Structure 1
Amino acid sequence: MAKTILAIGAHVGDMELTVGGTLATCALEGGRIVTLALTAGEKGVPAGRDIAEYRQQKCAEARAFAEKLGGEAHVLDYPDGLLADDDAARFAVCDVIRAVKPDVILTHHAESMHKDHAACHRIVHDAWFYAATPGFERADKAHFARLYFAENWEDATGYRPYLYAQVSGEGFALWQEAVQTHWFVTGSTSFPYYEYYSHLKRLRGIEARKGYAETFMVLPEEQRQIRAL
C-alpha cells in the first residue's frame, strides 16, 4: 500500500541523507513524500558566502530534492544552532503533522552531538503526541502516525538498529541523484557525506540480506516482537 511519509529534520539535508533511500523507494511505489526542516542549516555556509544568501540556497535545495521524488518540502524559520525547544515549536510541527496526515513520521534519534538534532527529537516526539490528541484544538483534526528514528553519524550515541527498511535498487539510484542537489553533500570538505551514506545503505542492505537498506529505532515501549518460534 502506498504511504505518506513525513520526514522531519533539524536542518535541511538531515533527512535527505539519512532516510532518503526510504523516501525515494516510497515515492517510486506511488507514495507521497513530505520533508520538514526546523532550520535551514545555514550556519554551514561555505567560506566567504553570506549566511542569509546561503539560507535561501538551502531552502531551494530542499525543494529540489523533494521535487525529484514528486514530493514537497517545508522549512521553518528557526535559526540554525538556535532551534527553540519550546511549545511554540512543538505546535508548529503538530500543525504540519495534522495538515499532511502522514502514515509514518521519521526524525532524529534522541542522543546527538548536535544540540539542534537532540532538540528536534524532543520537539517531534511531543508534537506527535499533540497531533494525535483531539483535546488539543488546532486548525486541523487530530491525526496519529507511526514514529521512527533515523540512523545518523552525528546521532550515534545509544543508537541500536531495530528496524531494517529495504531500499530498492531504483530507489537507491534516485536517492543518489536527488541528494546531489545539496551543495554540502558533494561540496563540503568537513565530512564525506555522499560516500558515507551511500556505503551505509549498502552495508545495512547486506545485514538485511538485501541490496540496500536503512535502519531505524522505535520507541522503547515498542521494542517487542510477537511471533511464533
Structure 2
Amino acid sequence: MGYIDGKWAPLIMMTVIHMINGMVNALIKKVLDGGINHMVIATYRLGISTFFLLPIAYFWERKTRPKLTISISCQLFISALFGASLVLYFYLLGLSYTSATLGSAFTAIMPALTFIMALIFRFEKLNMKTKVGYCIVLGTMISLGGALVLTMYQGIPLTNSQEQASTLNHLTKHAHWTKGCIFLFISVMFFSSWMLIQAKVNVNYPCPYSSTVILSAFGSGCTRNVYGGNIMVY
C-alpha cells in the first residue's frame, strides 16, 4: 500500500496543482474582465508571495544559506526578470485577450519549449536512435502543434446573437484572440528560459525559499516600476 501511495503521489500532486492553477486562472480572468490592470495583479501577486515566504525562508534556511554576493544577486535579478516580471506581464496580458482555459492550455507546452531550449544551449542531449528520444521529439511536435491549433481555431459560436453574427465584431475578436495567443506563447518562452537560468542559479545559491523570496521581491519592484510606481486597485 505504501508503494502504491509513493508511486502515485507525484501524479496526484501534479493533478492538484493543475486544478488549482485552473481555478486561479479563472479568478484572474474575472478580475481582468472587471477592469483591473494586469500589471497591478502582477505586482500584488509577487508582493504577497514575498510577504508570506519571507519568514519561512529566514527561519528555515538561516543556517544553510550561503553569502549573497553581487554575482549571485545579479543572477537572481536576471532570474526574476525572466521568471517573474516578463512572464506575468505577457501571461496576464494574453489572458486579458483570450480565456482562462486557453491560458491553462498554453502552460502545457512549457516542457516542450524548455526541452528545445535545453537542446539549443546544450543543457540536454538527444539520441534519436532510441525509442525514448523518438517519443520525446514526437511529444514535442504534438505539444507545439496543439498550441498552433488553439491559436488559429477559436471554435464555433454557441448562440446566434447579433453581436456574434456581426462580421466586423467577429474579425475584431479573432484579432484579439490571435494577439492574446502570441502574448501567451511569449510568456511560456520566458518561463522556459527561466527554468534554464534558475537551474544555474540553484547551483550557486541552493536555497529554494530564499531564492524565491528574492526573486519575488525583484519581480515586484520591476513590475511596479513598469506600471509607473502608482499601484492601486480601482
Query: Normalized against structure 2, the TM-score is what?
Result: 0.28
Q: Which has the higher contact order (CA 8 A, sep 6+)?
A: 2
Instruction: Report the structure, 1 or 2, having the larger helix content.
Output: 2
Query: Normalized against structure 1, the TM-score is what?
Result: 0.28
Larger Rg: 2
Instruction: Report the structure, 1 or 2, having the larger strand content.
Output: 1
